[in-house]
């Protein structure tokens, strides 16, 4: 397809990042980075489109850290792509000025990777990249939503009070990368063939390839929910990928996972959180964290 081959030779997706990274000569650099030729993905996607499908691993390492007299619920989360194609988000202009928000294009291909497929269309996302000063790199907004809800059960059944929220729900931004491979059993369960690592640049095109995880450790700056003053009891930490459906996916119904935990206060009034149950083992929701050795 002419359009696609033009695009792949130019500033699209990974090609764009490589071109920018190695500062190609005048011909390519003369073209504005935003001169992407793929059409906007319309209401009906091309039949050949291979969309990603985001899922959350259930949160782990749930614990409380006290800081400045506030109790912060800390946790590790992670996203994986079990879809037919990559989640690829390319900045419309170079990610250089930390004071600017930068638009993104979600690139949709007709193959399992951007190397084996042709670019079919793009979804434009306004102000999607933001510079994260504590991490000194760029994040995509609206990637994952976090909420803490009081349990209406013993933590096994995923029944929580939808009218009450502890702390505030928030939508976290991330630098999306191919960070850890799925375990072989997970690849087999989703019938996925693992492509090579493609996305690893927080200053360029972000993405998660099929069969890869991006995980965010509990020590990640800013990744916590303030639960100061929450009464002792059982709670759910609920995480929902792509909560505003900003990114095109094959399935928005499998984006959630959760872990329940008990909150207690010891004799010194220090808050202590202990994991109880997770959505994967009890309800088949979400995915298990991959082995840390898969990097
Ligand atoms: Zn970051």
Phi-psi region of 242 (alpha: psi -120 to 50; beta: other; left: phi over 0): left
Q: How far is the CA of 134 from the centre of ligand 1 (A)?
A: 8
Mean pLDDT of all residues in the chain? 87
Average pLDDT, stretch 16-24?
34
Average pLDDT, stretch 60-77?
94
What are the beta bridge partners of residue 213? 80, 180
The answer to whether position 52 is within a domain reads yes
Q: How far is the CA of 275 from the centre of ligand 1 (A)?
A: 25
The model's pTM? 0.85
Question: Phi and psi for 208 in degrees, rounded to 5?
Answer: -135, 120
The answer to whether position 247 is within a domain reads yes
User: Containing domain of residue 80, as a range?
Assistant: 15-35+48-283
The answer to whether position 138 is within a domain reads yes
pLDDT in tens, 184-193: 999 999 999 9
For residue 107, pLDDT over 60 is answered with yes
Give the chain's count of helices (H) and strands (E). 5, 15
The answer to whether position 55 is within a domain reads yes
pLDDT in tens, 247-265: 999 999 999 999 999 999 9
pLDDT in tens, 272-293: 999 999 999 999 999 999 987 7
Q: Minimal CA–CA distance to 215: which of 184, 239, 190, 193? A: 239
Average pLDDT, stretch 204-223?
89
Q: How far is the CA of 138 from the centre of ligand 1 (A)?
A: 7
Task: Please count the structural domains in the chain.
Answer: 1
Confidence grade of residue 66 (pLDDT, cut at 50, 70, 90): very high
């Amino acid at each position: 397809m002419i359009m696609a081959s033009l695009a792949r030779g130019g500033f699209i997706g990974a090609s764009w990042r490589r071109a920018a990274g190695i500062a190609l000569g005048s011909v390519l650099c003369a073209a504005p980075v935003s001169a992407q030729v793929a059409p906007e993905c319309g209401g009906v996607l091309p039949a050949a489109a291979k969309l990603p499908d985001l899922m959350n691993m259930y949160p782990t390492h749930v614990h409380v850290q006290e800081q400045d007299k506030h109790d912060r619920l800390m946790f590790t989360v992670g996203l994986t792509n079990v879809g037919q194609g990559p989640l690829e988000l390319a900045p419309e202009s170079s990610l250089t000025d930390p004071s600017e928000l930068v638009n993104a294009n979600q690139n949709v291909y007709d193959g399992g990777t951007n190397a084996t497929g042709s670019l079919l269309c793009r979804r434009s996302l306004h102000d999607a990249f933001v510079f994260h000063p504590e991490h000194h790199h760029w994040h995509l907004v609206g990637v994952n939503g976090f909420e803490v809800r009081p349990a209406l059960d013993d933590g096994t059944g995923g029944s929580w009070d939808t009218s009450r929220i502890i702390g505030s729900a928030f939508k976290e931004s991330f630098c999306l990368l191919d960070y850890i491979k799925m375990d072989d059993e997970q690849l087999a369960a989703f019938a996925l063939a693992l492509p090579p690592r493609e996305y690893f640049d927080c200053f360029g095109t972000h993405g998660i390839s099929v069969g890869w995880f991006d995980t965010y450790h509990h020590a990640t700056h800013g990744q916590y929910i303030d639960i100061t003053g929450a009464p002792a009891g059982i709670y759910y930490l609920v995480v929902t990928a792509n909560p505003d459906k900003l990114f095109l996916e094959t399935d928005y119904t499998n984006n959630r996972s959760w872990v329940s935990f008990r909150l207690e206060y010891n004799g010194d009034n220090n808050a202590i959180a202990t994991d109880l149950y997770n959505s994967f083992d009890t309800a088949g929701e979400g995915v298990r964290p991959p082995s840390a050795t898969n990097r």
